[in-house]
Structure 1
């Protein structure tokens, strides 16, 4: 009986073993099941969710490149359109327009000595036509030994008459007085509002400081196009009177007290001219107003004494009609004894019935200062103004932007072609 029980136990054990083996064999046949695609284990999913490209980018940006791996961008090659290099000590091409002593420095540089607040310099008359669209960069090599980092460049063009805040660009030096280092200032003209038309003048406010020295090695108007490829610069006649004739002349040395009206002095009659800053001058007198303190003829010269801002003088109405298209030049013979070089010529025509900034041309004297005795013939091209059209009625001359000092004027002439 015990043997039978042992035999049954063995048989049951064998049956269970066979059943278990069969079950395992059934699971092994499920490897072809497509309900679960290959490669979807949790570990593999974690790996694939990491952005591989980002991991490579991170590796590229965090591991410093070796010297052999660095490829420097090619240096921008610039060509001069016009250049002031200050090699000619007798004619630097720039003059003081406020609070600056300008002189030739060592090794072909221009030295500026700041004499007070708002110091700046201005170009002399340009005898070339410079198309602003062709100038891509204004480059300067400078050494700033003033007490300030800030500076500003003003422009004046046929499209954007200046200097005006709206036609300027502010920027900063890298060094100041304690560094005593040369640096290159490279200005992209696309950053300058109003940079279009023909360039007439530049004004450089080289510091916001009020003391110190400043040196300029060169100032260059540059392009990325080779100079001989575009005909960027064309020479013009230095004197637009060439081949023309004298059309009209105001001889100011012969003026008497009866020929002048000075608004700063009391008069028996009031005139509409004073109320409108001289926009209507019905009598045959020259009107002196604004910052003109006195005006008189002495030793054969008209002397204009300036005592405040905005001095100006207005001609009588022209009795001889001149079409603006026939007048190519306005010539002023004068001696500037103020401390500023900038001045301005205005006009009125039948079409432009009021004096305006658009109906004007700025110009500059080459000499200035209380001790100056040199007379200059300032040749102005009135066609630089977009409003120079129609019949000329009046002219106005702002003899200086200075607030004090003396300007002497002998004559104002109109040159052109006889009608």
Structure 2
């Protein structure tokens, strides 16, 4: 290992050094936080776990200086990150000196000046000018350091930063970008071998080479093979003599050379050092001419010891070798800039010539910055989108869409709109969370923030919910899929789908299809032993399987699952699945998983509820959501999302906002209605309620429209609101969305179709034309059709459709279909259906209009 070097001598004790290397380099890394450890120090505004060695000088309070000036200190912890020390009780911050200081009552570890400069004996090294300095291998220094996390201003790093340039390492980066396998070899001394990385000890950080390999695997789709035959106590001369057998014969694509610390301690000249590095490059390229190299200019040895030599001289030699296929990483300059602000003991693993976890992260980030675009700069993530809050009994289930670049989320709530004084949870890594600290009957208002190493986003949009015991029973959690949100459920494996029309539509696309509930449910399993599922099974399978995980056992397994029979090719049916006798259904329920036993077709899930026995009694439905109103000529077309459990709907209207004195229709069983009693030029305000045998919901959100006779369209759908299907339903072999002013449709089969609102009430003779604007993203031209039903013939049939021909791979194109010439287009038009293509592929519908 490196410490066997003494001035003027080549390494003695290489056998011990090799043993050291095998211990550090060849053991597997344990789990660790890749995102925060690899967030670039130089571009972030959050410093994660900066290491400090607290030292008391002449009996004073122990102190250590920070690299940057904090704007706020988040935590001071032990180096294992398991103990958090309290400000005021254990430590204070002195802004005049930018130092953390321990108190006289602290429980944190520290060293004295006598510890740092002992009188001699074991675990010491001679000090330049006389005396001794403390020296320890293993985890001794790790155990005597603290980790400080804090925020700071941007752009405060004045040292070297890496440069990503695809032209410098074209072979390696080309393979990474194309998803081809890449083999990386790290070859150097004990620093490269991973000396003094915490590795097997919390927080389990591996060598910098492994950090780089893991970062590449996370960023690219390539299979990364990483080898590290580094040996402690060696220098570049040893490397030149051994690289052929240890590295070259393996034909790596990228070789990282990490020699120099022991060369410097042995005062190897710059010219000899350069010659050895060049010899290693030549040997590797003789076996693989396309191999490329990253050359590491070494960190510095402790200047108070005799290990400090001419390490700093090697940077210029390496830079002179750089060019296409060879890049130099300036760790010499990085370490020098760090030493301008911090003492050597803050960043060392042995106080002589090895880095600790903090400096190992600098090595890894500097190397990764040459291989990963964007790793040298960054910004906080955007606020999460699509936050939903679903009330249960004594809990609120939250879900949101992921923010790009986010590493964690913070959930906040309040009891008045716009105020979020309570932090419910932080460090959440999934996009769902169950808040089990709420009280029934209280309305809670929630927002979520996203965070990464560069900072924290603003608040998401607000969502609110009022937990309560249900009318016919009590559910600890329930998901009714009444809007377009998946309510935290994840289409996890061999499935696709969407939430529309009051159900979660799940398309089965492979041999192991399943969906996952939100994580961290926090449900008392013993008090909630039943899973209630209402679904429509469109497959020939007769089984459904429910898996679960708990706080004590977070994985899914066959031993923690139950298969329940369901009806094949059925309409909607209710299933009460008693989980209470299943082994493991105890403690705190964390997550459930629903598995289907078919590899094609689909299942429509109306609701999923978790509760006790007897919880499935009838309850009044919730108010319909997603109400939209579209004005036509003497009419208003209404559509809304289905309310779970509703058997009918009532449509009401008024001529002033918030007042609905006229009941337009009752007993409506579809989720659309056309009000043909409206007068042109009058603005109408509508609300819809849902009913079943248990009662009637409150009003939906209001929607308004002003019918007009000035246009040529009796009905039109413009799809201008994101997520608003305007009453259209993705009925068969289609998935899709509404965004950017269009209805986006993806066909998965050969009979795809989308169905418009029911009960249109259009005069066929007065409205013989359908105009549709479509962007065809396929090569198919034949197949699009418009089907229709009428009040006199409410069934779909081949005899009632019009056809048109698409332009292949076109931009948006307007098509006009003369439906007046189609047999059966007479009387009152009830509903229309669009079959966009007769094959797989995607089309985008800008609008559909019916008129004269």
Higher helix content, 1 or 2: 1
Higher strand content, 1 or 2: 1
Q: When the two structures are superposed, what TM-score results if normalisation uses the length of structure 2?
A: 0.16
Q: When the two structures are superposed, what TM-score results if normalisation uses the length of structure 1?
A: 0.33
Larger-gyration structure (1/2): 1
Q: Which has the higher contact order (CA 8 A, sep 6+)?
A: 1
